[in-house]
Amino acid sequence: MSENYLPSELPTQIKLLLAEINRLQLEINETIQKTSVFENLLRTKIEDELIEEQELSLLYKQQKKAKKDKRLAQKKRGKNYDQTGILTSDQPKPIPEKNSRERQQRKQLYREAMLYVHPDKFSMQTDKLDLATEITTQLIEIYRSGDLAALKAYHAHIFSGNTLIKPHEKQEPLKDPDLTYLKMELKKLREELAAAKNRHTYKVLTEYENPMSFLDELKAYYKDRLMKLRKRTRT
């Protein structure tokens, strides 16, 4: 039998999930900050190499583009060439498919959720106005991403009362909360943390006895990289 609760009462499950989400966010920020400081220090030691590598890379791209433009000019002399740069063909061009049903479902979910938590509804509840703005911002981002599953989860998250925001109406008891969105967010943050810790420079920082010895590896890499770029851009 499910236990009812008022939206003002935060269930233990949600508390635990939110606490873990906050902990992961802090750990991600700390990991990124440490890595960034270390990478910036390394960059100061190889500034000349970085500048030359950037200049040669740009030159290489420009040379590739010039060759491509030259080939395109040659193609234009072909009798079957059309203005799009594609040889004409008797085959009909494919018509892009659009999933109108899914698009309509996304639009409906978005509209329902937006109308439910729009900041204008909380203009007289200043304690909830910032939260409503934050929720609608997240809602817009999810809607624009085109991810129907994420939008469904966030829609359920909003209407289940997990956001702790509700228009100024009589509060009715809610049933067990839908934790789908929070669990998805938790999974995403765990993946972000794993990616941050899997970054090579972070591993160097945490696993090398002397992290700055990695500088020798970097110099060797750029020496080889610059040698190859000089050959490619030689005219």
Portion of the chain with pLDDT greater than 70, in percent = 76
Both tokens assigned to 233? 């851009």
State the amino acid at position 78 in one-letter form: G
Q: Are 199 and 34 in contact (CB under 8 A)?
A: no
Residue 91, domain member (yes or no) = no
Residue 163, domain member (yes or no) = yes
Residue 122, domain member (yes or no) = yes
What is d(CA 202, CA 30) in angstroms, rounded to the nearest whole number?
Answer: 11
Residue 84, domain member (yes or no) = no
* Res 137: pLDDT: 87
DSSP-based three-state secondary structure for 233: coil
Residue 39, domain member (yes or no) = no
DSSP-based three-state secondary structure for 86: coil
More confident residue, 99 or 45: 45
Average pLDDT (6-27) is 79
Residue 147, domain member (yes or no) = yes
Whether residue 40 has pLDDT greater than 70:
yes
Residue 59, domain member (yes or no) = no
State the amino acid at position 29 in one-letter form: N
* Res 5: pLDDT: 45
* Res 80: pLDDT: 56
Portion of the chain with pLDDT greater than 90, in percent = 28
What is d(CA 33, CA 179) in angstroms, rounded to the nearest whole number?
Answer: 30
* Res 7: pLDDT: 45
Average pLDDT (104-125) is 79
- Containing structural domain, residue 155: 99-178
Give the phi and the psi of residue 193 in degrees, each rounded to 5: -65, -40
More confident residue, 166 or 230: 230
What integer best gives the mean pLDDT of the chain?
A: 80
Q: pLDDT digit string (tens) for 196-219?
A: 999 999 999 999 999 999 999 999
Residue 165 CB burial class (10 angstroms; 0-12, 13-18, ≥19): buried
Residue 87 CB burial class (10 angstroms; 0-12, 13-18, ≥19): exposed
Provide the 8-state DSSP code for 124.
T
Domain tally for the chain? 1
Whether residue 57 has pLDDT greater than 70:
yes
* Res 74: pLDDT: 81
User: What is the reported pTM?
Assistant: 0.60
CA–CA distance from 13 to each of 10, 32, 64, 82, 157 (Å)?
8, 29, 57, 62, 13
Ranges 25-39, 49-63, 91-105, 165-179: which has the least confidence? 165-179
Q: pLDDT digit string (tens) for 93-110?
A: 543 435 788 888 888 888
Residue 11, domain member (yes or no) = no
* Res 31: pLDDT: 95
More confident residue, 12 or 2: 12
Average pLDDT (31-36) is 94
Whether residue 33 has pLDDT greater than 80:
yes
Helix, strand and coil percent figures for the chain, each rounded to 5: 70, 0, 30
More confident residue, 64 or 87: 64
150-155-161-163 Cα dihedral, nearest 10 degrees: 60
What is d(CA 197, CA 173) in angstroms, rounded to the nearest whole number?
Answer: 42
